[in-house]
């Protein structure tokens, strides 16, 4: 979260500890985190300055955490404004591109699913640091089952960050193999209504499949080399990444119907991440390969374990306890 909210890792750790403790003095926080009391006092003061903690009345200087929705509300609004500005920039740059007499140079047009698949494969295999992607239906050229290049690159240490349209998680059985990709090291998140399909290799090349063509038209994609338009697409991805919901997959990633312990299983954490993403019980059940009744029963169990009454309170407690 610290990369999203411009927090240091230490500040995020202190805020999470404060959520877990409900309230704490600098000495109590220092003991909980095993740090120097002076450092704890500085962290609490920093959180207070950011509006993420308030001082409680009383003789002791005790801090109470601000609820995450209040602490990060202004940040969300700021990110949304940034996204609107980036989309406006993309529109201007697109109009500029279309008005060019000579479209060659930083833009290429590739026709045909086979040619597009080849370029996507090359992009992933040539990446040295990172591949970023926006995935939404329909499949244009490369299906999840045919994307060996990603797994090869992950094995070589290339970072993959992918945002999936929430519509994909409404499909039964995980046809896009999101769980498998995450278990292999992909960092995945969910967002609603992604504006386009996109894959970016390092900061050197982007491929944008055209998905609004007329039925029967040849599959087409636009390749963008370093330019203002590529920079705008990178900025768009980063803004979407910061506002999207992580997809969590544990070692097994399945619900244990007989589990009755106080701590969540890997399947429980995946269930909670899907719930946080806004999926219905039916869609969560389809993703996990379970019945809707089983999902509802486990959610009821988690509500009892955490001592809350509603699903909103369950999400709050799950965040507070570090489950999601």
Domain boundaries 266-320, CATH class = mainly alpha
Residues 6-21: tens digit of each pLDDT? 678 888 889 889 989 9
3-state secondary structure of 120: helix
Angle, in degrees to the nearest 10, between helices 311-320 and 9-21: 130
pLDDT higher than threshold 80 for residue 4: no
Question: Is residue 237 a contact partner of residue 198, using CB atoms and an 8 Å limit?
Answer: yes
Question: Is residue 15 a contact partner of residue 53, using CB atoms and an 8 Å limit?
Answer: yes
279 pLDDT band, cuts 50/70/90, is confident
Residue holding tokens 């029967």? 216
pLDDT higher than threshold 70 for residue 262: no
CA-CA distance, 306 to 79, in Å (whole number)?
32
3-state secondary structure of 88: helix
Question: Is residue 112 a contact partner of residue 218, using CB atoms and an 8 Å limit?
Answer: yes
CATH of domain 2-70: 1.10.10.10
CA-CA distance, 223 to 106, in Å (whole number)?
8
Residues 167-185: tens digit of each pLDDT? 877 776 666 778 788 888 8
- Which residues partner with 131 through β-bridges? 160, 201
Residue span(s) of the chain under CATH 1.10.10.10 come to: 2-70, 266-320
Looking at residue 173, its pLDDT comes to 66
98 pLDDT band, cuts 50/70/90, is low
pLDDT higher than threshold 80 for residue 41: yes
- Give the CATH fold of the 73-246 domain: Endonuclease; Chain A (3.30.870)
Backbone angles phi, psi at 205, to 5 degrees: -155, 140
Q: How large is the average pLDDT for residues 131-142?
A: 83
CA-CA distance, 306 to 302, in Å (whole number)?
6
Residues 45-78: tens digit of each pLDDT? 988 888 888 898 888 889 998 888 777 777 777 7
pTM of the model: 0.56
Residues 204-217: tens digit of each pLDDT? 899 998 866 555 56
Q: In angstroms, what CA-CA distances link 307 with 155, 172, 246, 266, 273?
A: 42, 31, 25, 20, 19
Looking at residue 263, its pLDDT comes to 67
**Radius of gyration of the chain from its Cα atoms, rounded to whole angstroms:** 23
3 state SS for 144-176: HHHCHHHHHHHHCCCEEEEEEEHHHHHCCCCCC
Question: Is residue 126 a contact partner of residue 101, using CB atoms and an 8 Å limit?
Answer: no
Q: Which two tokens stand for residue 12?
A: 């995020």
CA-CA distance, 169 to 54, in Å (whole number)?
38
Question: Is residue 240 a contact partner of residue 197, using CB atoms and an 8 Å limit?
Answer: no
* Residue 50: alpha-carbon gap to chain centroid: 23
300 pLDDT band, cuts 50/70/90, is confident
Residue span(s) of the chain under CATH 3.30.870.10 come to: 73-246
- Which residues partner with 205 through β-bridges? 201
Which span out of 9-13, 247-251, 274-278 was modeled with the highest average pLDDT?
Answer: 9-13
Strand 130-135 to 198-201 pairing: antiparallel
Residues 82-91: tens digit of each pLDDT? 888 888 888 7
Q: How many helices (H) and strands (E) does the chain have?
A: 14, 10
């Amino acid at each position: 979260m610290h990369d999203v909210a411009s927090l240091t890792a230490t500040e995020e750790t202190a805020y999470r500890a404060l959520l877990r403790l409900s309230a704490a003095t600098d000495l109590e926080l220092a003991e909980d985190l095993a740090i120097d009391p002076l450092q704890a006092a500085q962290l609490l003061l920093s959180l207070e300055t950011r509006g993420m903690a308030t001082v409680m009345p009383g003789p002791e200087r005790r801090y109470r955490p601000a609820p995450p929705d209040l602490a990060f509300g202004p940040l969300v609004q700021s990110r949304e404004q940034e996204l609107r500005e980036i989309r406006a920039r993309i529109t201007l740059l697109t109009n500029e591109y279309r008005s060019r007499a000579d479209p060659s140079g930083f833009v290429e047009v590739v026709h045909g699913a086979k040619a597009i698949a080849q370029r996507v494969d090359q992009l992933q295999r040539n990446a040295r640091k990172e591949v970023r992607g926006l995935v939404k239906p329909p499949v244009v050229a490369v299906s999840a089952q045919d994307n060996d290049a990603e797994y090869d690159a992950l094995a070589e240490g290339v970072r993959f960050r992918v945002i999936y349209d929430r519509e994909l998680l409404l499909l039964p059985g995980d046809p896009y193999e999101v769980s498998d990709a995450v278990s292999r090291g992909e960092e995945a998140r969910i967002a609603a209504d992604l504006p386009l399909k996109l894959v970016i290799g390092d900061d050197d090349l982007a491929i944008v499949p055209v998905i609004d063509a007329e039925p029967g038209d040849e599959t087409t994609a636009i390749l963008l080399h370093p330019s203002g338009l590529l920079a705008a697409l990178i900025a768009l991805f980063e803004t979407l990444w910061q506002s999207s919901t992580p997809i969590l997959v544990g070692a097994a990633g399945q619900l244990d119907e007989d589990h009755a312990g106080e701590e969540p299983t890997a399947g429980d954490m995946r269930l909670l991440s899907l719930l946080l993403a806004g999926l219905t019980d039916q869609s969560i059940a389809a993703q996990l390969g379970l019945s809707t009744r089983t999902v509802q029963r486990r959610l009821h169990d988690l509500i009892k374990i955490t001592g809350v009454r509603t699903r909103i309170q369950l999400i709050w407690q799950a965040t507070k306890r570090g489950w999601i």
